[in-house]
């Protein structure tokens, strides 16, 4: 199976979210699966214009904006799992991931033209990894609910969110327990995928 990761932390290699994502992907790869990671802060992703140009042709995303979303669309459509990895800023994912998801909701859901068309990514499995300063159930709950609603709207399969709290930048974030929980989340997702959930 192929996992397409949209990684959206500006802290790059120093990112707490990347540390969790790395453990997830190690378990994923150990099971014989592949992945592609798009580091969104290193790419050009312009915000959706709501021009509805993508709605004129249902054969593919066909977004009128020529930027790095073209490659991301292709990887999303060819993957078995879309993994969204972002810290929580202001109770939601970071701006590049929000922009990417806005583009996906328009270009991959042909709902907004003169006639209602299909969801090109219907049935795609989606999961998320996050870090936040509050307890996860109070810090990531708004984003998690937004993802649930997006999945319902686009007819995607929401598999769940895994997150960890980081109380202070003065304290180390990663430890063996967090690493184990990230790997366990990967195994949980693989079990759900194998069961067709």
Supply the pLDDT for residue 196. 87
Q: Which domain holds residue 149?
A: 2-194
Please report, for residues 127, 132, 136, 139, 152, the alpha-carbon distance to residue 160 in angstroms, rounded to integers and kept in the order given. 5, 16, 13, 15, 13
pLDDT in tens, 61-110: 999 999 999 999 999 999 999 999 999 999 999 999 999 999 999 999 99
Do 104 and 4 meet the contact criterion of CB atoms below 8 Å apart?
A: no
What's the rounded Cα separation, in Å, for the pair 62 and 50?
13
Q: How many CB atoms lie within 10 A of CB 125?
A: 21
Q: Which parts of the chain fold into alpha helices (H)? A: 16-30, 69-78, 95-107, 136-139, 141-154, 176-194
| Domains: count for the chain | 1
Angle at 43 between CA 37 and CA 45, to 5 degrees: 110
A 10 A CB-CB count for 27 gives 20
Give the chain's count of helices (H) and strands (E). 6, 5
Residue indicated by tokens 């583009």: 103
The reported pLDDT for the residue numbered 24 is 98
pLDDT of residue 167: 80
Question: What is this structure's pTM?
Answer: 0.96
**Domain of residue 161, CATH code:** 3.40.50.360
- Give the pLDDT of residue 74: 98
- Tens of pLDDT along the chain (197 residues) come to 999 999 999 998 889 999 999 999 999 999 999 999 999 999 999 999 999 999 999 999 999 999 999 999 999 999 999 999 999 999 999 999 999 999 999 999 999 999 999 999 999 999 999 999 899 999 999 999 999 999 999 999 999 999 999 887 788 899 999 999 999 999 999 999 999 87
């Amino acid at each position: 199976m192929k996992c397409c990761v949209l990684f959206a932390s500006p802290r790059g290699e120093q990112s707490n979210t990347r540390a969790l994502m790395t453990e997830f992907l190690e378990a994923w790869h150990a099971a014989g699966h592949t992945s592609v990671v798009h580091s969104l802060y290193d790419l050009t992703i312009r915000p959706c214009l709501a021009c509805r140009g993508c709605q004129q042709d249902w054969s593919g995303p066909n977004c009128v904006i020529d930027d790095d979303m073209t490659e991301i669309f292709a990887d999303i459509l060819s993957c078995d799992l879309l993994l969204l990895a972002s810290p929580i800023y202001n109770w939601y994912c970071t701006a590049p991931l929000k922009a990417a998801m806005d583009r996906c909701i328009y270009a991959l859901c042909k709902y907004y033209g003169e006639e209602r068309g299909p969801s090109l990514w219907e049935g795609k499995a989606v999961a998320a990894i996050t870090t936040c300063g509050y307890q996860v159930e109070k810090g990531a709950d708004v984003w998690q609910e937004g993802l649930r609603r997006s999945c319902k709207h686009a007819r995607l399969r929401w598999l769940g969110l895994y997150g960890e709290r980081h109380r202070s930048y003065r304290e180390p974030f990663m430890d063996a327990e967090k690493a184990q929980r990230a790997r366990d989340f990967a195994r949980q997702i693989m079990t759900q995928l194998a069961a067709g959930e």
